[in-house]
Chains A and B, each alone.
Chain A
Amino acid sequence: MEHTVEKEIRLKGINVSPGICIGKAYLVGKEGVDVVNKYYISKDNLQNEIKRFKSAVKRAKDKLQEIIETTPEELRQHIHILETHKILYKDKMLYGKTIETMEKELVNAEWALKQVVSNVKRMFKNMTDPYLQGRAADIVQVSESIMQNLVGAKTLDIGAIRKRVILVAADLSPAETSQIQLEKIKGLITDLGGKTSHTGIIARSLEIPAVLGLERATHSIKNDDIVIVDGTAGIVIVHPTDQTLIKFEERQSNYEKYKAVISRSSHLPAETVDGIKLEVLGNIELPEEVVSVINYGGDGIGLYRTEFQYLSRRRFPNEHDLFDNYKDVVEVMSPGSVTIRTLDISGDKGLSYASDPDEKNPVLGLRGIRYCLKNPDVFKTQLRAVLRASAYGHVKILLPMISRHEEVLAAKKLLANAADSLDKEGIGFNDDIEVGIMIEVPSAAIMADVMAKDVDFFSIGTNDLIQYSLAVDRVNRQVSHLYQPLNPAIIRMIKHVADIAKTNNIEVCICGEMASDPMNMPILLGLGINRLSMNPQSIPVIKKTIRSLNIKDTALFVKDVLKETSETGIMEILQHTYGNILQDIGYTD
């Protein structure tokens, strides 16, 4: 037994994905490039290694060229430094020297580059002129972008993890998250991020305990430290004492037992006390998750996010790849329905090959349907794949980020085109496929009556709807407390949309995080929502909650809710009226 003198440290963060795990820490450097490994290259492989370096430089340089080209004329004056950077990429002292080092020492490109850069840095540090001293920063920037391309082109070091570890990172971009081999990860810890961040969603959907927003986790935890992650309580313990270890092992087994109990009843229907059956569906991102939707008793897929297939590669996937994936999901889920949301690339989930790195306000930018309408070829490829999959089960199409009625019409026109082209080729599909829209932009909610005439269903994406309506960035810790699903403005907006759906006799579903919190059920049911889609592991507890509620009561209760003027007031009457029920189903926060 190894004895450590390190003191037990407790860190408090945001409980993002429930569960407890104990294991060794594995730190991921910022951008995955802080830790540079050195290894030797055989003479035979040297040319390949040099080629790898050259193509990394080229990619970095091309990217910069793109930035320069897309900079508006009036700002060109200020980007001369970028022109300098462009030349620096091929500078003898950087480019030539790195290749020289590789040839001389037979080392990998990353290591050679690192050596060269630190030499150059030293040279500049010794200079007296502060301007020149500062130029070291330019060289570092240029070399870092090469390094990112080097590391990214091979595998990010997250991809190379061999043992089962607890991943510790400052932050994980969706692109990085997609590179993690998740079966190697026991738990997740990050400095940044919150409940509804992409990392959080992924952790929950894969049932990996996660605590995010710890702020200084990467400073307090070292590689191979023993760490306990309590994703239920939002606590991370570093260097636990023996007593702590025993306590948490016990908690871990209790949690597993609780999970087993709750999933046993998960296949009972979601029928209220007064006999109304609700549809409870799962949100998925990876095709493999269909299995957990079925295991947890989901009636279908209410939201199939399709970005992952675009994120995990270097170029746009082709129709065949997409179709294969969709068909898998549809066939496994059949006869249950699968609602496929078309590509919603956003700033948060930028594709390196198709995004503008300088976009200031990506959530308000070119994303979702806007991106697809601007890139009809990309869109049409996906629409054809979805249509083809519709021949194999019950498929619905969901259009994201709709903010104007014209977008619905334009998208439907492209869909009709895609259908025509399949028809001509004699490829089968469901020509009566249901088309719905996400209600996540306030303008779409306000215009719901107009939208309803042209769509078959609404899907309320509460995450974005709340963020846009309350003007709160849910990832920003300074304001994330203002992100309140039970804000009266949100409840009114949902009511408005649900009422319009009812008058127009179209379906309405809630597919944001809001649908996975038992606490919200009395209100959502009372508002007349009868379809809910959520992360698969929330399905059992939500179904159990629904089975304990009475629709007539909730409708009356909502009348009182609508009189309240703040979320605090709403929470109070919720506790007062439904506190017992929520406690009974084992719901604690």
Chain B
Amino acid sequence: MTSHPKLEIRDLRKSFGAVHATQGVNLEVRPGELHALIGPNGAGKTTLLSQISGEILPDAGSIWLDGGDITRMPAHKRPGAGLARSFQISQLYPDFTAEDNVAMAVQAHSPGGFNLWKNARRLARLREPALQALDRVGLAGRADVRVSALAHGEKRQLELAMALSLDASVLLLDEPMAGMGAEESQRMTALLQTLKGRYAILLVEHDMDAVFALADRVTVLVYGKTIFTGTPDEVRRHPDVRAAYLGEED
């Protein structure tokens, strides 16, 4: 594949006082690629995602989306540019129903957000895409349930449904399997499998079975540095990676 990357990170750096969370990270996600980012706890994976999504401004380096520099673009403009994020700890609206939550994601990128008069819960242009997204992640039957009453695994599914509803071309998924049981993880893996090829995905995940089943390429992040990028097989065989990360699991 020779086309330019969907998402490219060049020599990104971020420190919090003496803590160097990101120390010159280089990374690219190609069109249609599922790129996994792995690393031990505290490696700076979530900090990296937060810089890509604009919540944290990097100290140095740059972030490129579709060949355009988005390093300094305000966070709320990035979804419109094609970048959607899901959160490691579900960031949902607890007083809304599942359908309301996804409808907010639909509304966020459609016109008429400042409509003060129409009943939002009866607008088919918001509600139908929301129901479709819920159906896609397997939550169709739970549309009317308040988020605070959803099970943990369902919240993770909802988190994904919201990211999918943003009409983005790049997905940043922060541990979609976090806290899930084995069966739920398998279902989520199957779900992510259906997204492959349609989006460029940067997946942060601790579940190695899922990573090796899904990823086209894997980047290993240790103490804020990318120590290796390669295919899942290459990563598995790489001695430094085994020492730094996978070794812990043996």
Q: Do A and B bind?
A: no
Residues of B within 8 A of A (CB): none
Residues of A within 8 A of B (CB): none
